[in-house]
Structure 1
Amino acid sequence: MRRPTTFVCLVAALLALLPAAVARAGPVRFEFTVAPAPGIANPFAREIWAEVTPPSGATLLLPAFYVGQQIYAVHARPDRRGTYTLGRILESTRGAPATAIAATPHSPSTFENPAPLRLPPVGVDPRSPGGFARADGHAFMPFGANVAWAPEPDVLAFYRATLDAFAANHLNWMRVWMVHWGGTNLDWPRPEDGVPIPPGGIDATVAARWDSLLAAAEERGVYLQIVLQHHGQYSTAVNPSWIDNPWNAAHPGGFLKTPAEFFTDPRARLLTALKYRYIVARWGWSPAVFAWELFNEVHWVDALKLDRDETAVAQWHADMVRLIRSVDVYAHPITTSTEDLRSPIYAAMDFLQPHLYSADLVAAARTFAPRRAGDTRPVFYGEFGDDHLRLPDDVKKSGLVEPPAVWASLMGVGSLPAQAWEGEKLRATRRLAELGAVHRFVVLSGWSRHHDLQPFSAAVECTARVPLQLDGAQPWQRRPAREFTLPLDGREPLELGDWPATFATPAAEAKDGFPSRAVFHATFPRATVARLEIVGVSENGGALRVSLDGQSAAAGSWPAGDTFPATLTFPIPAGSHAIALENTGARDWVQISHLDLGLTAPALAAIGQRNDRFIALWVRHRANLFALEPGAPSEGTIVLDDVPAGTWEVKWWDTAGATVTATEILSHAGGTLRLPTHAVTRHAAIVLSRQP
């Protein structure tokens, strides 16, 4: 009797993967003209509103935007079948209550919508605050990648082709910047798009491009996270674009003397607020807008990196969130991206957006920097990249790195996948299907029906062995290195993702939050000799000490011109020990590659999520995972502790295509379950489901 239910669930799961069959996407649009306003020369600066009554009968007050020739337009979401009617036109000024003004229709004042909205809008899930949900009640998990700008002159042709590829591979999320060199910045156009725009203006060509881009996304069922600002616009130190910024006082019409003034200058704040109002008025109707992201990596702007004025930047964020929420009737989620999840910059955000550029993506993707106590908002890595991986360039260019990091991100403390930075690389290397396979796995395996999963790592008994080493994971992250116990049987605790790759001085830790010391505990089965590999130091040199049970075991000091890698070697007796690495403070920072413990680990590693009814495992081959030419596959036995008694269905999944390669039924008496693996070349997934 379970077959019909199973069939219905499978059909629903498959439908959740498919983009909606969508006709030409577009808003309910009304146009009208109003007389010029005395004292307001810039038509984009007028705060015009329109009352629109949808078929439900509940009148909406929507922001209008300037089109040209004294024409304004209002966009409503076509979420119901029936008649939409334009009502009164109103105007407010700088927060004053809106009052009705005279207006002349420039289009029919009624619109007959033949069909309801095709793509369900997405928001934070009210039933599960740590996740997202579509308006139709289905849970939503963003699976996709960053395609921040078009690397080709024809922006729309590029994005249409890329959106086609995303949809074809079951990807539903893309992060796109409003950036001048990509032809998507409304008030900083490319030279080929026309003349520069004076402060307070909007480029019509770029705005029309966004109309088409969002329509293309909606038609393909892909949601866009739209990044309104990027750090380079207001930075002189990190990816700086300040020298070319049209608001820079060095240019005609510019008025900001420093990048930091963007956050405090009254004119800059007003013009930014008006631009954001325009953005919401023109595109807030679109269900293809997943979220508004105020800033990319705001910690790199001069106001924070150089001036350390977190108060001003946090206040700017709070004010802009308040502005957007006051005009966004459709309540899209709002976020920003910065590294400190406890920063007041995040206080008003709907979800958190750290980025991840780790030297060990598999370990680091499973955990996050500390959050404020009780913060249950959604969090996922909006970017991750391979910049700090110690891998050859040809491996990085191949796209091998990204899919495993997405798998690993689901096997940690978060419930949402990490998003690759180089989406276009993955399209070019035909790896998008591997990202889509993770999405298919989550939906088709039944994962998404479980909300109480806990991350874990299982031991794998395996004759094939590799060196047991503790890799430096975090090169430059302001997060503490948690003290932890390292199992020597190949299990991988979450704390591995916090282990520093860079050790700052104690003074730098106190000032900037970069760790200077890290400690782990382990019980060694025999005496061994450990080797710590140092790969670089500051231009001022660096010094590092290794302690064993509180006593110095090895130490080194290296000038900047020294030859790297360098090695510190020290003996470890059999038994339980505490091992500490610490910057002595004598010079400056030190960067490590790994600590080889002189032991071996199984070639296969297993991490996963579990409850008492469902166990998902991702198994990888430590030596083959990123090899362009992988070696022989390995087999082993996964040791699962505390598995409840019952009948368990075991499915093996191909991680490249998210297809089930084998199914078996196990009768388990309870306790430890020993599960023989199939041969694993790179990585595979396993799901165990307890049967009713």
Structure 2
Amino acid sequence: MYYSLTRNVLLLVLLICLEGVAQPSAFVRVSKTNPRYLELAGKPFIPVGPNICFARLVTNGDSLLAYYDHYFGRLAASGGNFTRVWLSTPMLEVEKQQPGLVDKQTETLIDGLVGLAQKHGIRIKFCLEHFRKVTGSPAPFPSSVPFDKPVYAGSISSMDAFFRSEKGKQLYLNRVAFFAGKYRNNPTIFGWELWNELNSVRVDDESLLLTWTTDMLDRVKALVPNQLVMQTLGSYDSPKQHELYRTYSALPNNELAQAHRYLDKGASLPVCQAPMDVLASDAVSSLLALAPAKPVLLSEVGAVEPHHTGPFLRYPADTQGTLLHDLLFASFFAGAAGPGQSWHWDYYIEKNNLWWHFSRFNEAISGFDPVAQQAVPFRLSANNGLTVYGLRGRTTTLLWVRDTASNWKSELEANRPAAVLSRKTIKPGLPASRTLSFYDPWKGVWTKGTPGKALSLPDFSRSIIVKLDY
């Protein structure tokens, strides 16, 4: 298999060269003009794409490359430019036999994955680690991944020892240094995430995790100075999580303020059972209040069975992608640096063939530069049975108008189809514009309207985009 994998990666590199796919020359950075957004070569970079963190149930390298070629291709064809990949899953873990000993076959595999991202124009955020125990934490269900790292069992005695001791820190940094040596000059790599949901690791003293994060943000950044470095926490679903997000989002070298949040009937925060647009926009607005001078991303979002015991059982019924649409649009229109980044790329997006939502999002915001427009998010609730989410700019304002009567409860639980709304009018409190246009993201159609302080909307279901040019 090693020969086959090496051969296929070499063929991939040759194909990229023959097709003239050049390595991108610019790194994604925090905007110098407006630090709430990202930039690429002086222009806004809006990261569009779901998590594609691992290939479920794939056990050989050639199949994994085929898997990512397929998913990256589907994403790129829909206008996507971004994803997240875990480097610590069994297929991509380079330390398979002992700490510090790199498995060359896995190294080749990761090179191939990066080559595929380059081929399809996808930027990767690599998550460096995710384990929660040294041993004794297997995959929670068959299609998940283990949450332990037995290869470290001979070097550290516990997770506390890993985070507290210099030996544990060096284990982590040696692994980072290996990846930095390979990819720190490759702009295909968007950035590096220290750990997936760090606070899910159980230690005797939780302040140890904060101390470790503060230290590692600086030390990892020194290894990858041209790429973004960030940390993540578990689902933003309880009052305790709010305080953790407050603390971690404020860390100076945590370059992005990220949130994970899920529709979860077992969560203690009521907003986690709200309509998806409310759930997503609340997470973004909360982070913007905690970190007003950083890009905010809803970097994991989706729906689960109570207490994360599995994917949402109503996913198969969501053939129109109501949940995906809402998590994309609500996040961006609440002021995030990009649309929400869905989990369940396979159980939900791929199975229901929902990739088209990414291209509809891109079309809806086409031509709108949130940095040049100095965009300010706002929200109007209960406006004629509608919620209006807006990005008010200097010369252009975009509105995303959502029907409050249509949501996951009505469509997926009560099996009540979204109604067609007619003769709806909104008064968003804006001056009359020079031109007025509408985009129906469900039909992919633009139409024109008559400007005024009261805006008469065309017939639509669920949601519609309103564009006002001044």
Q: TM-score, normalised by structure 1?
A: 0.55
Other-structure match for 1:630: 417
Mapped to 2, the partners of 1:321 and 1:204 lie a distance apart of 28
Q: Name the SS of the counterpart of 2:304 in structure 1.
A: coil
Other-structure match for 1:293: 193
Mapped to 1, the partners of 2:135 and 2:317 lie a distance apart of 32
Other-structure match for 2:6: none
Other-structure match for 1:686: 466
Mapped to 2, the partners of 1:341 and 1:442 lie a distance apart of 29
Structure 1 residues 393, 138: CA separation in 2 closer, same or farther (over 3 Å shift)? closer
Q: 1:342 aligned to 2:283?
A: no
Other-structure match for 2:435: 649
Other-structure match for 1:364: 279
Mapped to 1, the partners of 2:95 and 2:319 lie a distance apart of 34
Q: Is this contact kept in 1: 2:33–2:371, CA < 8 A?
A: no
- 1:641 deviates by 4.5
- Counterpart code for 1:171: G
1:591-606 residue pairs with structure 2 within 5 A?
602=385, 604-606=386-388
Q: 1:438 aligned to 2:224?
A: no
- 1:408 deviates by 1.0
Other-structure match for 2:10: none
Mapped to 2, the partners of 1:300 and 1:235 lie a distance apart of 15
- 1:411 deviates by 2.3
- 1:446 deviates by 5.7
Match of 1:332 among 227, 230, 247: 227
Structure 1 residues 364, 665: CA separation in 2 closer, same or farther (over 3 Å shift)? same
Structure 1 residues 442, 180: CA separation in 2 closer, same or farther (over 3 Å shift)? same
Match of 2:99 among 179, 184, 199: 199
- Counterpart code for 1:417: P
Q: Is this contact kept in 2: 1:612–1:643, CA < 8 A?
A: no
Mapped to 2, the partners of 1:372 and 1:684 lie a distance apart of 27
- 1:301 deviates by 0.3
Other-structure match for 2:29: 123
Match of 2:81 among 149, 172, 175: 172
Match of 2:170 among 259, 267, 270: 270
1:469-508 residue pairs with structure 2 within 5 A?
none
Structure 1 residues 285, 374: CA separation in 2 closer, same or farther (over 3 Å shift)? closer
Q: Name the SS of the counterpart of 2:128 in structure 1.
A: strand
Mapped to 2, the partners of 1:316 and 1:202 lie a distance apart of 24
Mapped to 1, the partners of 2:108 and 2:215 lie a distance apart of 28
Q: Is this contact kept in 1: 2:135–2:148, CA < 8 A?
A: no
Q: Is this contact kept in 2: 1:170–1:440, CA < 8 A?
A: no
Match of 1:404 among 319, 326, 338: 326
Mapped to 2, the partners of 1:302 and 1:396 lie a distance apart of 35
- 1:397 deviates by 7.4
Q: 1:163 aligned to 2:77?
A: no
Structure 1 residues 232, 448: CA separation in 2 closer, same or farther (over 3 Å shift)? same
Other-structure match for 1:383: 300
- 1:322 deviates by 2.8
- 1:281 deviates by 0.3
Structure 1 residues 231, 376: CA separation in 2 closer, same or farther (over 3 Å shift)? farther
Match of 1:452 among 336, 353, 375: 375
- Counterpart code for 2:45: F
- Counterpart code for 1:163: F
Match of 1:319 among 211, 215, 232: 215
Mapped to 2, the partners of 1:150 and 1:618 lie a distance apart of 34
Structure 1 residues 663, 417: CA separation in 2 closer, same or farther (over 3 Å shift)? same
Q: Is this contact kept in 2: 1:179–1:230, CA < 8 A?
A: yes
Q: Name the SS of the counterpart of 2:468 in structure 1.
A: strand
Structure 1 residues 643, 155: CA separation in 2 closer, same or farther (over 3 Å shift)? same
Unmatched 5+ residue regions in structure 1?
1-21, 27-113, 189-196, 462-601
Q: Is this contact kept in 1: 2:86–2:126, CA < 8 A?
A: yes
Structure 1 residues 643, 115: CA separation in 2 closer, same or farther (over 3 Å shift)? closer
Q: Is this contact kept in 2: 1:298–1:337, CA < 8 A?
A: yes
Structure 1 residues 280, 443: CA separation in 2 closer, same or farther (over 3 Å shift)? same
- Counterpart code for 2:150: P
Q: Is this contact kept in 1: 2:81–2:122, CA < 8 A?
A: yes
Structure 1 residues 327, 659: CA separation in 2 closer, same or farther (over 3 Å shift)? same
- 1:355 deviates by 0.6
Mapped to 1, the partners of 2:458 and 2:288 lie a distance apart of 39
Other-structure match for 2:43: 138
Mapped to 1, the partners of 2:379 and 2:248 lie a distance apart of 31
Q: Is this contact kept in 1: 2:49–2:82, CA < 8 A?
A: yes
Other-structure match for 1:309: 206
Match of 1:355 among 260, 267, 272: 260
- 1:348 deviates by 2.4
Mapped to 2, the partners of 1:374 and 1:118 lie a distance apart of 30
Mapped to 2, the partners of 1:146 and 1:275 lie a distance apart of 23
Q: Which has the larger radius of gyration?
A: 1
Mapped to 1, the partners of 2:138 and 2:445 lie a distance apart of 43
Mapped to 2, the partners of 1:619 and 1:328 lie a distance apart of 41
Higher strand share: 1
Other-structure match for 2:448: 663
- Counterpart code for 2:427: L
Q: Name the SS of the counterpart of 1:343 in structure 2.
A: helix
Q: Is this contact kept in 2: 1:156–1:213, CA < 8 A?
A: yes
Structure 1 residues 459, 157: CA separation in 2 closer, same or farther (over 3 Å shift)? same
Q: TM-score, normalised by structure 2?
A: 0.79
- 1:449 deviates by 4.2
Q: 1:618 aligned to 2:400?
A: yes
Unmatched 5+ residue regions in structure 2?
1-12, 234-240, 263-271, 307-311
Structure 1 residues 399, 201: CA separation in 2 closer, same or farther (over 3 Å shift)? farther
Q: Is this contact kept in 2: 1:410–1:416, CA < 8 A?
A: yes
Mapped to 1, the partners of 2:248 and 2:291 lie a distance apart of 15
Q: Is this contact kept in 1: 2:422–2:460, CA < 8 A?
A: yes
Mapped to 2, the partners of 1:262 and 1:458 lie a distance apart of 48
1:514-529 residue pairs with structure 2 within 5 A?
none
1:1-49 alpha-carbon deviations (Å, 9 max, x no partner): xxxxxxxxxxxxxxxxxxxxx98668xxxxxxxxxxxxxxxxxxxxxxx
Mapped to 2, the partners of 1:323 and 1:453 lie a distance apart of 34
- Counterpart code for 1:246: P
Q: Name the SS of the counterpart of 1:180 in structure 2.
A: coil
Structure 1 residues 415, 211: CA separation in 2 closer, same or farther (over 3 Å shift)? closer
- 1:619 deviates by 2.2
Mapped to 2, the partners of 1:337 and 1:242 lie a distance apart of 19
1:30-80 alpha-carbon deviations (Å, 9 max, x no partner): xxxxxxxxxxxxxxxxxxxxxxxxxxxxxxxxxxxxxxxxxxxxxxxxxxx
Other-structure match for 2:390: 608
Mapped to 1, the partners of 2:146 and 2:85 lie a distance apart of 21
Mapped to 1, the partners of 2:326 and 2:109 lie a distance apart of 34
Q: Name the SS of the counterpart of 2:429 in structure 1.
A: strand
Mapped to 2, the partners of 1:187 and 1:263 lie a distance apart of 18
Mapped to 1, the partners of 2:381 and 2:193 lie a distance apart of 37
Other-structure match for 2:158: 258
Mapped to 1, the partners of 2:330 and 2:183 lie a distance apart of 35
Q: 1:186 aligned to 2:103?
A: no
Q: Is this contact kept in 1: 2:449–2:456, CA < 8 A?
A: no
Structure 1 residues 130, 624: CA separation in 2 closer, same or farther (over 3 Å shift)? closer
Q: Is this contact kept in 2: 1:122–1:132, CA < 8 A?
A: yes
Identity of aligned residues (%): 20
- 1:388 deviates by 6.0
Structure 1 residues 294, 674: CA separation in 2 closer, same or farther (over 3 Å shift)? same
